[in-house]
Amino acid sequence: MAKIAYFQCPTGISGDMCLGALVHAGVPLDYLKEKLELLGIGAEYELKSEPVRRQGQLATKVSVNLTQHNSDDHEHHHHSSTTRHLSQIEAIILQAKLPQQVEIRSLAIFRKLAEAEADVHGMTVEEVHFHEVGATDAIVDIVGTCLGLDWLNIEQFYCSTLPTGGGTVWAAHGQLPVPAPAVLKLFEIGKVPVYSNGIERELVTPTGAAIAVTLAQSFGEPPALSIQTIGLGAGSQDLPIPNILRLWVGEQHPSLDSDIFSTVNTEIQTITETISVLQTQIDDLSPQVIAYTFELLFQAGAIDVFSQPITMKKSRLGVLLTVICHPEHRQVCEAILFRETTTLGIRHTLQNRSILKRDIQTVETQYGAVRVKVGFSGKKITNVQPEYEDCAKLAKQHKVSWLEVHRLALQSWYGLP
């Protein structure tokens, strides 16, 4: 059975986060140090590993501390001022006589990175100076990552969708927008599905993007596998959500080879977006107030609001009130909950959700116009539903059942008599 690695990147990906995840998953740091010495640049850096906590979660932070040059102190470090051409980097890797798979993967990653940089700067691959990604720490990050994957005997590599980040970052060419130009080009080259998680920081570095684009067979949901080990690689700073790259290591389960799974269509084309989820538990509020609060939340832009009956401490009956909204509406929805309910605290998290593309179309029935919501996966229609409010309005006006209006709207959309 194939050994599989899946990189889950809620806060992005960088070379040092990859190393941290691999060490946390069991790759010995001493093994990495021993093999990296073969590169002949050991005097230029020191490799360290330490346990750290991100939002209370224990993870491993691997640092490449330069001994001869200064490096910029960014979230996912931009590399030292040392510059090298691709040919020099390839020579360093080739002379090291690394394991064959490590050599092939490392050279491919740097070649992909050079192609992106060349396109951004309008030059040939041979002319590219690796200001930020050709320095010592980048070589250690990339070759070290390939060494770790080889030590784990990884045959298939997959990666989640990647967050774009935001804001600006300082680099060798000055202040750049995030994603950095080379990262954006790598997203294009690899046809990487991306989304915004609302965090205005550099989340994907050129090194991290090159590793993912070069090695990943596909981006998106994890493949079917039996998980054997989880590796958690920490980023440099605390973010609103745990700044951790999660490496899943496992094998394809034998039962997943059966014919039943071959009939499942996994080619559904979805859109990934970031949402805020607010939750609070209440045991002393009138149902009438809850209904009124629902109305205000929807008016404020909530995507969905719902309540669930729960039993709270001291066996009190209460409700769990959940609000789903876009991150830009979180503060106003939170303010409504504090103002209109008796809650003393609200939990809020950022989550990813996959949605189908939707389109609103209008059809004519004998009772009037009805809007119809149509769901798409690519160009394929997956769902057709007349809008509830339109059906209800016409049913009341003409004193007919809601079901009849709903049926006529579907008939009209499908072109049936």
**Residues 194-233 pLDDT 10s:** 999 889 999 999 999 999 999 999 999 888 889 999 999 9
Taking Cα atoms as reference points, which of 178, 167, 101, 180 lies closest to residue 133?
180
Calculate the alpha carbon distances from 183 to 8, 187, 313 in Å: 18, 6, 50
> How many Cβ atoms sit within 10 Å of the Cβ of residue 266?
9
CA atoms within 13 A on the CB side of 208: 33
- Alpha-carbon distance of 64 to 43, in angstroms, equals 12
Q: Tell me what pLDDT residue 131 has.
A: 57
Give how far Cα 338 sits from Cα of 289, 311, 312, Å.
Answer: 13, 21, 19
Say which residue the tokens 């030590």 belong to.
Answer: 151
* pLDDT on residue 129: 76
Per the structure block, which two tokens stand in for 57? 């979660």
pLDDT reported for residue 266: 55
Whether the Cβ atoms of residue 258 and residue 98 lie closer than 8 Å to each other: no
Which residues contact residue 61 at a Cβ distance below 8 angstroms, ignoring those fewer than 6 apart? 16, 20, 49, 50, 51, 52, 233, 234, 236
pLDDT mean over 84-104: 92
13 — phi, psi (to 5°)? -150, 135
CB of 404 closer than 8 Å to CB of 395: yes
SS3 content of the chain, % helix, strand, coil (to 5): 40, 30, 30
Percent of the chain with pLDDT over 70: 91
Instruction: Indicate the SS3 state at residue 125.
Output: helix
Is the pLDDT higher at 173 or at 37? 37
Structure tokens at 98: 């690394």
Give the class (CATH, top level) of 271-354: alpha beta
DSSP code, position 180 = -
Distance of CA 369 to the CA centre of its chain: 40
- Mean per-residue pLDDT over the chain, rounded: 88
Class of domain 357-414: alpha beta
Per mean pLDDT, which range of 91-95, 113-117, 348-352 is the poorest?
348-352
What string of DSSP letters covers 190-247?
HT--EE--S--S--B-HHHHHHHHHH-S-BSSPPS-EEEEEEEEE-SS--SS--EEEE
What would the mean pLDDT of 146-170 be, rounded to a whole number? 93
Percent of the chain with pLDDT over 90: 66
**How high is the pLDDT of residue 76?**
47
Which residues fall within 8 angstroms of residue 318, CB to CB, at 6 or more apart?
281, 282, 283, 284, 309, 310, 311, 312
How is the chain split into domains, by residue range?
Answer: 3-262, 271-354, 357-414
Give the bridge partners for 233, in sequence order.
60, 245
Residue where the block lists tokens 């990859």:
18
Q: Among the listed ranges 10-24, 82-96, 274-288, 300-314, which one has the minimum average pLDDT value? A: 82-96
**How far is residue 162's CA from residue 60's CA, in Å, rounded to a whole number?**
21
Condensed to tens digits (0 to 9), the pLDDT of residues 337-392 reads 999 999 999 998 888 888 888 889 999 999 999 999 998 887 788 899 999 999 99
pLDDT at 300: 93
Angstrom CA distances, 264 to 138, 219, 242, 269, 356, stand at 41, 18, 33, 14, 18
- pLDDT bracket for residue 314 (50, 70, 90): confident
Give me the pLDDT at residue 254, please: 57
Phi and psi at residue 94, to the nearest 5°: -65, -40
pTM for the model stands at 0.63
User: Distance (Å, rounded) from C-alpha 46 to C-alpha 11?
Assistant: 26
Cβ atoms of 56 and 243 within 8 Å: the answer is: no
Q: Which of 169-178, 184-193, 311-320 has the highest mean pLDDT?
A: 184-193
Per-residue confidence band for 315, with pLDDT thresholds at 50, 70 and 90: confident
pLDDT tens, residue by residue, 120-139: 988 888 888 775 444 788 89
pLDDT single digits (tens) 22-49: 999 999 999 999 999 999 998 888 999 9
**What's the Cα-to-Cα distance from 225 to each of 3, 26, 247, rounded to whole Å?**
9, 19, 13
DSSP 386-407: E-HHHHHHHHHHHT--HHHHHH
The pLDDT of residue 253: 64
Q: How far apart are CA 337 and CA 154, in angstroms?
A: 48
Identify the weakest region by mean pLDDT among 75-79, 124-128, 314-318, 411-415.
75-79
In the predicted structure, residue 98 carries a pLDDT above the cut 90: yes
**Predicted local distance difference test score (pLDDT) of residue 95:** 95
Q: Judge whether residue 141 has pLDDT over 70.
A: yes
pLDDT range class, residue 74, cuts 50, 70, 90? very low
Nearest 5°: CA angle at 179, between 127 and 350?
Answer: 155
pLDDT band at 273 (very low <50, low <70, confident <90, very high): confident
pLDDT of residue 268: 65
Contact predicate 394/407, CB 8 Å: no
Asked whether the predicted pLDDT for residue 239 surpasses 70, the reply is: yes
